[in-house]
Amino acid sequence: MMVLLVGLVGSISICAFYWRSVGDWVSALPVFVLFTSGIGILGYLTYSSFASAEGAAGIVVSLSEGDAESGARLFLTVSLAAGLSGLGTSAVLRRLAPVPKRPQFRSLVRRRVGALQWIPIGPPVLLASLLGDSLIERREYIADHLSGSLLVAGMNLILVGAVAVGGYTVRLGTWWLPVATLLLCEVVSFGQGSRIFAILPLVFIGSVVAGSGLNVARALSLLLAAGGSILLLGVPLHLRSLSMHGVLPYLSELPDAVGVSLSSVDLAVMNLLAGFPISIRASQVGGFVADRDLMISLNPLPGSMAGWDEVVVSHRLNYYTPFSGVGELGAIGGLKLFMVACLVGVLLAVLDYFVHRSLRSSAILIPLICFGMACMFALFFSQYTVRASFRILYYALLLLLASSLFKRTSEGSSVRVRESVF
């Protein structure tokens, strides 16, 4: 229990100091630190509630007290190492190039972005067209003909789209197009039986709040959205157990699924905590069988070029359940665990730094999308592999870099035009 207390106090202290030093609550590093330490603490306190699962997608998750203690220690180590390294990185960056302490969200200028407001509709439309009839009705839960990776990428883009449409709502002051896009994303994620169906409203509201500033009404709406997401999380979990899958079979079962979800909130909570037993099992069976696996997982190149396709099978508990990033770090242990956890903190602090700079310059869509992606990383790292998780951070940093280069190029062109005119 002393380890849990130290981890809790340490995590809260790191986040409080970080928020105070950067002066901006829209920060991904504290989200990762609090979420990861929370999984470790709650996982330990509820380890006896994990029951053995059956079926093709099931994993044996019954844990002993010793397993729970090692799992809590692993999560807290990753959380504190990332938090401390992120604090140091942030201090260095802000000393080299200071950023104004307080963002003026309410002073952001409303600008019309023309055809760009239609971009978030692209991912759900594209994914629906690729899924075709299988979105409406199919026999298998996972659409294998998409080879898995395309489906995962599409669903992640839908999450990013929800952040974007929330930002468009702030920028344009209109609701009909963002809400219509959100509903389309909900239909696609519902037809896939994805947990994204439950969390999309929370992501959307969170993006609106992050872009427009926090007040009592928005805080209440955020809490309501969070509660609704938890209550509805059991819906896709129940739908996955059906013999037929897709929008039509799920619609016919929806009333029962909602009833089951509302009557078993603990199912949703345990699903969020699923990364705890997965990480423990992954650390026990050996996530990284060689140093080469670690370098492959951190390599940003496509799987076929990095060599991931050759080792991916050894990084799964079963066909449906990959190792978690935390579990893979637990398997390598020692100095390498500490170094990768510190790398997480460094990348999150760098991302926060550029997000904050972008928000100060009245940009809102790109930084909010990147902030949302970084928050997704916290969940991914507890339930998916190091490679799958780190790619989210790579994409976010690349998007921020591209946005910064585009802005500098545009400003340079404007200056040259003015000089040539005057």
- How does DSSP classify residue 101? S
CA distance 326 to 57: 20
* Rounded CA separation 274/58 (Å): 12
pLDDT of res. 50: 65
Q: 270-281, pLDDT tens digit by residue?
A: 777 888 888 888
* Count of domains observed in the chain: 1
- pLDDT (0 to 100) of residue 344: 94
159, 198, 91, 100: which is closest to 370 by C-alpha?
A: 159
Give the pLDDT mean for 126-138: 72
Q: Is 138 helix (H, G, I), strand (E, B) or coil?
A: strand
Determine what percent of the chain is predicted with pLDDT higher than 70.
70
Q: Tell me, what's the pLDDT at 208?
A: 75
Tokens of 74: 């692993």
Q: What's the rounded mean pLDDT across residues 350-372?
A: 79
Q: What is the pLDDT of residue 401?
A: 84
Mean local confidence (pLDDT), 241-256: 86
- pLDDT tens per residue across span 259-271: 777 766 666 667 7
54-68, 141-155, 325-339: range with lowest mean pLDDT:
141-155
pLDDT digits (tens, 9 = 90+) for 304-342: 788 888 888 888 887 778 888 898 888 887 788 899 999
Burial pattern 180-190, b for ≥16 Cβ within 10 A else e, equals ebbebbbebbb
pLDDT exceeds 90 at position 405: no
CA neighbor of 201 nearest in space, from 222, 217, 218? 222
Residue with the bigger pLDDT between 187 and 287: it is: 187
- pLDDT confidence bin for 57, thresholds 50/70/90: very low
Distance CA 142, CA 146 (A): 9
Contact 316, 382 (CB under 8 A): no
* Cα 394 from Cα 377, distance rounded (Å): 11
Query: What residues make up the domain containing 200?
Result: 2-421
Q: Do the beta carbons of residue 296 and residue 354 sit within 8 Å? A: no
Q: What is the pLDDT of residue 53?
A: 46
Q: What local confidence, expressed as pLDDT, does residue 115 receive?
A: 47
Which two tokens mark 239? 């739908």
The rounded distance, in Å, linking the Cα atoms of 71 and 276 is 7
Task: Quote the pLDDT of residue 343.
Answer: 94
Residue 123's pLDDT is 62
Contacts of 123 (CB under 8 A, 6+ apart): 154, 157, 158, 160, 161, 185
Residue 308, C-beta contacts closer than 8 angstroms, at least 6 positions apart:
296, 297, 299, 387
If one compares 218 and 108, the residue with the highest pLDDT of the two is: 218
Provide the percentage of residues in the chain whose pLDDT is more than 90: 13
Confidence of residue 395 (pLDDT cuts 50, 70, 90): confident
CA distance 355 to 363: 9
pLDDT recorded at residue 30: 92
Q: Which of 153-157, 203-207, 253-257 has the lowest mean pLDDT?
A: 153-157
Which carries the bigger pLDDT value, residue 106 or residue 37?
37
Candidate from 180-184, 295-299, 393-397 with smallest mean pLDDT:
180-184
Query: What is the spatial distance between Cα 38 and Cα 150, in angstroms, rounded to a whole number?
Result: 31
* 132: CB partners within 8 A, 6+ apart: none
Q: How far apart are CA 335 and CA 333, in angstroms?
A: 7
What pLDDT shows up at residue 174? 64
CB 362 within 8 A of CB 100: no
Across 391-403, average pLDDT: 86
What was the pLDDT predicted at 191?
84
Give the C-alpha separation, 86 to 121, whole Å: 35
The overall average pLDDT reported for the chain is: 77
pLDDT tens, residue by residue, 178-231: 777 778 888 888 888 887 888 888 877 877 776 666 677 777 887 888 888 877
